[in-house]
A and B are shown apart, each in its own frame.
With several copies, the nearest count.
Chain A
Amino acid sequence: MLRAPLFAATKRAMSTSTATNAFHSRFQQYALQLDATNERRERLVKASRDVTIHSKKVIFVIHRLNDSNRDKIVEQAEKDLAAVRDAHVSRVAREVEGVDYWKLKRAFSPGMQEFVEAATVVEFCKTGKLLTLQQLNSSLCGVKDASGVSFSVDIDDYLLGIADLSGELMRLAVSSAASGQGLEASARIRGFVQALYEGFCLLFYNVDGGRDMTKKVEVMLQSLVKIETTCYSMHVRGSEYPASIVDS
Chain B
Amino acid sequence: CGAMEQFESFRAEMDASNAVREQLRSAVSELDNATRLMNAALLPIHHSSSGDSIKKAKSYLPEIRKAYMELTAIIKARPEEYYKYHDYWRNQTQVVVSLLAFSHWLETGDLLSHADAQELLELKKEDFFLDLDDYLVGLCNMSSELPRYVVNQVVAGAYDCPERVSLFLSDLYSAFRLLNLRNDHLRKRFDGLKYDLKKVEEILYDVKIRGLLTGKESKTPEETK
Asked whether any CB of A lies within 8 Å of a CB of B in the complex, the reply is: yes
Q: Hey, which bits of chain A sit against chain B, CB under 8 A? A: 1-4, 6-7, 10-11, 14-16, 18, 21-24, 26-28, 30-31, 33-35, 38, 41, 56-57, 60, 63-64, 98-103, 105, 128-130, 132-134, 155, 159, 171, 174-175, 177-180, 191-192, 194-206, 208, 225, 228-233, 235-237, 239-241, 245-246
Q: Interface residues of B, CB < 8 Å — how many?
A: 88
A130 to B207, CA, bound (A): 34
Knowing A1-B217, A99-B79, A178-B201, the reply to whether A7 touches B163 (Cβ < 8 A) is yes
Residues of B within 8 A of A2 (CB): 217-218
**Which one, B11, B79, B177, B217, contacts A4 given CB within 8 A?**
B217
Assess the A237–B160 pair: CB atoms within 8 A: no
Measured between beta carbons, the chain B residues less than 8 angstroms from A99 are 79-80, 82-83
Contact partners of A236 in chain B: CB under 8 A? 154, 206-207, 210, 212
Pairwise interchain contact A202-B198, C-beta atoms closer than 8 A: no
Residues A4 and B154 in contact, CB atoms below 8 Å apart: no
Query: Which residues on the A side are within 8 Å of B159 (C-beta)?
Result: 239
Count how many pairs of residues, one from A and one from B, have CB atoms less than 8 Å apart in the complex. Answer: 223
Chain A proximity mask over B75-113: 1 for CB below 8 Å, otherwise 0: 000011111101100000000000000000000001101
Q: Cβ of B58 < 8 Å from any Cβ of A?
A: no
A225 to B185, CA, bound (A): 23
- In the complex, the answer to whether A228 meets B6 with C-beta atoms within 8 Å is no
Nearest residue (CB) in A for B177 is A64
Whether a CB of chain A sits under 8 angstroms from the CB of B64 is: no
Known contacts A31-B180, A103-B83, A130-B2; A197 and B201 CB within 8 A of each other = no
Structural contact, B198 and A230, CB atoms closer than 8 A: yes
Among B175-225, those with CB < 8 Å from A are 175-182, 191, 194-195, 197-198, 201-212, 216-220
Q: Which residues of B contact A229 (CB under 8 A)?
A: 151
Q: List 17 A-B contacts (CB under 8 A).
A: A15-B49, A26-B113, A30-B114, A34-B133, A102-B83, A103-B86, A130-B1, A178-B201, A195-B3, A197-B43, A201-B39, A203-B7, A208-B87, A225-B148, A228-B151, A235-B154, A239-B212
Q: Are B17 and A206 in contact (CB under 8 A)?
A: yes
Q: Are B179 and A195 in contact (CB under 8 A)?
A: no
For the complex, what is the distance from the CA of A56 to the CA of B15, rounded to whole Å? Answer: 14
Residues in chain B near residue A195, CB distance under 8 A: 1, 3-4
With both beta carbons as reference points, the residue of chain B lying nearest to A242 in the complex is identified as B209
B-side residues, CB < 8 A to A, are: 1-4, 6-8, 10-11, 13-14, 17-18, 21, 32-33, 36-37, 39-40, 43-44, 46-49, 52, 79-84, 86-87, 110-111, 113-114, 132-133, 136, 148, 151-152, 154-155, 159-160, 163-164, 166-167, 170-182, 191, 194-195, 197-198, 201-212, 216-220
Say yes or no: A3-B219 contact (C-beta < 8 A), given A102-B83, A239-B210. Answer: yes
Quick one: given A102-B83, A225-B148, are A34 and B212 in contact (CB under 8 Å)?
A: no
- A68 CB to closest chain B CB (Å) equals 12
**Inter-chain contacts of B181 with A (CB < 8 A):** 34
B83 and A202 contacting across the interface, CB-CB below 8 Å: no
Whole-angstrom distance between the Cβ of B221 and the nearest chain A Cβ? 12
Q: Once the chains are docked, how many angstroms separate the CA of A155 from the CA of B81?
A: 14
Contact assessment for B132 and A228 in the assembled complex, using a CB-CB cutoff below 8 Å: no
- A7 pairs with B182, CB closer than 8 A: no
The CA-CA distance from A229 to B182 in the complex, in Å, is 27
Residues of A within 8 A of B113 (CB): 23, 26
Known: A26-B113, A30-B132, A178-B197. A21 touches B210 (CB 8 A): no
B180 in contact with A7 (CB, 8 Å):
no
**Given the known A-B contacts A128-B1, A240-B210, are A228 and B155 also in contact in the complex, defined by CB atoms under 8 Å?**
yes
Residues of chain A within 8 A of B173, CB atoms compared: 178
